[in-house]
Amino acid sequence: MVRDGLRKYTFPFTGIKNNETPKKAVRCALASPNVKSMLICGPGGTGKTVLAESTGSLAPERKTHVIPLGATEEMVFGGIDLEKALGRGERVLSSSILGRADGGIVIAENLNLMPEHLAYKLLNATETGSITVEREGISATYHSDFLLVATMRPDEGALSEHLLDRFDMCVFTSPPKDLDTRAEVVQSSLEFHDDPEGFVSRHRKEEAAESKAIAEARGRSRYTSIPEGYCAAISEVCSGLNVAGHRGDIAVMNCARAFAALDSRDVANLEDLKDAASVCLEHRRNDDGAQPAKEMPEEENEGPGEESGEPEGKSPGESGEESGEQQDGPSENRDRECNASGDRQETPDGDPPPPALDPEEEIFGIGEAYEVIDYLSRDDRGPAGNLGGKRAKDRSDGRSGRTIGYRIPKGRINDIALCASIVAAAPHQASREKGGLAIVIEKGDLRERVRERRRGTTILFVVDGSGSMGAQKRMVAVKGAILSMLKDAYQKRDEIGMVVFRIDRAEEILEPTKSILRAYKALEDVPTGGRTPLIHGLLKGHEILGGKASKDTMPAMVILTDGRCNVSFTPGKPPLEEMLSTARALSGTGIKFIVIDTEAGRLRFGLALDLCRSLGGTYLKLDDLNAEHIEKSVRIAIKE
């Protein structure tokens, strides 16, 4: 039970009607004295919170503590005790969440939204059981042994691989697999909400039996052993899945022992190993097998034997119910996402094409939208590394953003951290003239906030719309990339716009926007055809982005061109020469340039590379120009 004195009742573990594998994992985590951390992943409304909180209901003797998202470092790990410092001028370690959590359970919801350094420190603490505080004149180390239960929604951003690997266990929640279960889950949720006391008391007996069994298993699992041959098998499975390091092996052994203990045995069997592997290794997999990791939730019940080609096959212990769950993963949903706009390649029927300016002028539909990079997908781990969910974070100098710490100000203070200033002043109070106040703060005590802000990018695509080869494909690909980037949930801070240059001018087709709706309308018909006024495009792009560079945004211009320019801006000047001098002039303007070379065919001039050198930008050459490649490349280039 989460004992904050506010909610008397938490949803009982035995009242959970679905998520069999995650439930098994919860029992295992509580039954093992060696399992220190568990991550529960899953889409919204599939029971993550209920599962996480049920740990407290199952282990009532262990206190539950919650780390809210806005918690600051000194509150989680400890800092100076403010009242003692004020009262007696002493520097004493304050009470903190982890300081109070020794022997208990710590729940951290939405771990992926927590500042990364905090999450790291937290996971480190689970491993070592010891926390060192060095701040505000406090130097202390204390012991705290707790079970961390964290949750996250993958669609809100990724966790880094290193952070993931720190978790002993990782399980995936999924929606109820059939109508009956679904109705049952909803019914019990409604019942609990309307009458928590009644609901809890209806489950009291069952819950008590379950928690007694777990407590017994926890005592027993200390003495449970793993047959010698199995250790080698675990290593083999781990290396088959290309699991890095040794944490995976150890976690599997600890969990297998707990599973055996839960089954009142002193020796783990193959079944226990398989169960353990399914909850300990999925998040550590690095194999490039045929099975993409994004299908993992569906295979969560499969023993690793199948994947590493071992001949055991399905284990007899897998009940029909659970193998049924294998099919209820979110794969359908993914198909839907992938195909959602498959029918969008053509312009809608009945829309007459706008009056043609040029016989070659054509209008192209919007490229197929495609799935956003999955948080565990292969692509994420390749050289593109973790692009999927990472938000650009910057230490900010303004007053917005999340406070992540304090510092002694340099020069004028504009964002004073009052509490930190009081903390700094506290130890000196005994020796200061008070004038009726309890605390006197002097200038030297003042501290200011250090904030972290998620910084957005304004990305302007400047696209060659001339009649040269591949214009059609280029347009479709760029439109697809723009829509997909806008669709991606955690890139919402980015604005995206588009300029097309053709005939004798550059046109702002899409004013930089965050709205997918607006983009879709604007991009519906982008005409192509005509000559190539590249300089016009560059200047138009600069005009749009010029004012955008600030602390909040980074402007980036993505130019899709083969570098061939055949219209000069100043009449009479040779276009190519003018293009390069314009580019050189733009190179120091604070805009990030990315040139995507679209030159194709045998005879190549390499003009786009020249352009890119003059701009001082990032040069990319894509073999296959499609929306996905453009999006990924742009993301990588922007990170650099």
| Distance, CA of 338 to CA of 371 (rounded, Å) | 6
Kindly indicate which of the ranges 71-79, 123-131, 260-268, 497-505 contains the residues binding other proteins, using the contact rule CB under 8 A. Answer: 71-79
Give the whole-angstrom CA distance, residue 107 versus residue 74: 17
Query: Minimal CA–CA distance to 575: which of 565, 561, 563?
Result: 565
When asked if residue 514 is in the footprint of other proteins (CB under 8 A), the reply is yes
Cα–Cα separations (whole angstroms), residue 619 to 57, 473, 581: 57, 20, 18
183 versus 267: smaller Cβ distance to other proteins? 183
Footprint (CB under 8 A) of other proteins, residues 338-377? 340-341, 344, 348, 369
Residue 475 as a binder of other proteins (CB under 8 A): the answer is no
Query: Is 183 an interacting residue with respect to other proteins (CB under 8 A)?
Result: yes
Please select the residue that binds other proteins; options are 26, 170, 185, 612, rule is CB under 8 A. Answer: 185
Tokens (6 digits) for 265: 């045995």
Near other proteins by CB under 8 A: residue from 90, 95, 139, 227: 95
Nearer CB in complex with other proteins: 429/618? 429
User: Binder to other proteins among 145, 156, 295, 371 (CB under 8 A)?
Assistant: 156
Point out which span in 70-78, 285-293, 313-321, 497-505 binds other proteins (CB under 8 A).
70-78
CB of 210 to other proteins, least distance (A): 22
Q: Which of 445, 424, 435 is nearest to 82 (CA)?
A: 424
- Could you give the 3-state DSSP secondary structure of residue 491? helix
Choose one: 73-81, 214-222, 266-274, 472-480; the region binding other proteins (CB under 8 A): 73-81
Site for other proteins (CB under 8 A): which residue of 97, 281, 481, 580?
Answer: 97
Only segment of 140-148, 176-184, 299-307, 597-605 that touches other proteins (CB under 8 A): 176-184
Burial status of residue 464 (CB atoms within 10 A of its CB: 0-12, 13-18, 19 or more): buried
- Window 45-64: residues binding other proteins (CB under 8 A): 45-47, 49
In this complex, which beta carbon is closest to other proteins, that of residue 379 or of residue 552?
A: 552
Q: How far apart are CA 281 and CA 171, in angstroms?
A: 10
Query: Could you give the CA distance from residue 149 to residue 101 in angstroms, rounded to a whole number?
Result: 13
Give 199's contacts (C-beta < 8 A, 6+ positions apart). Answer: 9, 11, 12, 15, 188, 191, 192
C-alpha–C-alpha distance, residues 185 and 347, integer Å: 44
CA 523 to chain centre: 29
**Residue 367: closest CA among 461, 459, 460, 484:** 484
Phi and psi angles of residue 142, each rounded to the nearest 5 degrees, phi first: -135, 165
Window 105 to 144, contacts with other proteins (CB under 8 A): 109-110, 113
Q: How far is the CB of 344 from other proteins (least distance, A)?
A: 8
| Minimum gap (Å) between residue 487 Cβ and other proteins | 8
Least distance in Å: CB of 555 to other proteins?
A: 18
202 is an interface residue for other proteins by CB under 8 A? no
Nearest distance in Å: CB 86, other proteins: 4
Footprint on residues 380-409 left by other proteins (CB under 8 A):
400-403
Candidate ranges 140-148, 238-246, 330-338, 546-554; the one touching other proteins (CB under 8 A): 330-338
DSSP code of 390? P
Between 185 and 476, whose beta carbon lies closer to other proteins?
185
CB atoms within 10 A of CB 44: 9
- Quick one: tokens of 22? 């995650």
Q: Count the Cβ atoms, other than its own, within 10 Å of residue 413.
A: 15
Tokens of 527: 């005409």
DSSP 3-state assignment of 474?
helix
Looking at the Cβ atoms of 249 and 488, the one nearer to other proteins is 488
- Contacting residues for 361 by C-beta, under 8 A, at least 6 apart: 527, 528, 529, 530
Closest approach of other proteins to the CB of residue 127, in Å: 22
Q: Looking only at residues 425 through 444 of this chain, which bind other proteins when binding is defined by CB under 8 A?
A: 429, 437-439, 441
Shortest Å distance, C-beta 26 to other proteins? 18
The single residue among 61, 134, 179, 601 that binds other proteins, judged by CB under 8 A, is 179
Site string for other proteins, 484-503 (x = CB under 8 A): -----xx-x-----------
| Using rule CB under 8 A, residue 186 touches other proteins | yes
Rounded to a whole number of angstroms, the minimum distance from the CB of residue 424 to other proteins is 12
Site pattern 276..315 for other proteins (x: CB under 8 A): ----------------------------------------
- Measured from the CB atom, the residue of 99 and 304 that comes closer to other proteins is 99
Asked if 562 contacts 599 with a C-beta cutoff of 8 angstroms, the reply is yes
Q: Across the beta sheet with 618-621, what order do the strands follow?
A: 505-513, 495-502, 456-464, 553-561, 592-597, 618-621
| Angle 74-80-82 from CA coordinates, rounded to 5° | 110
Q: Does 636 bind other proteins (CB under 8 A)?
A: no
- 553 phi and psi angles, rounded to 5 deg: -135, 150
Which residue bears the tokens 């007053």? 399
Give the residue with the Cβ less far from other proteins, 61 or 194: 194
Q: Which is nearer to other proteins, 110 or 308 (CB)?
A: 110
Per-residue DSSP letter, 339: H
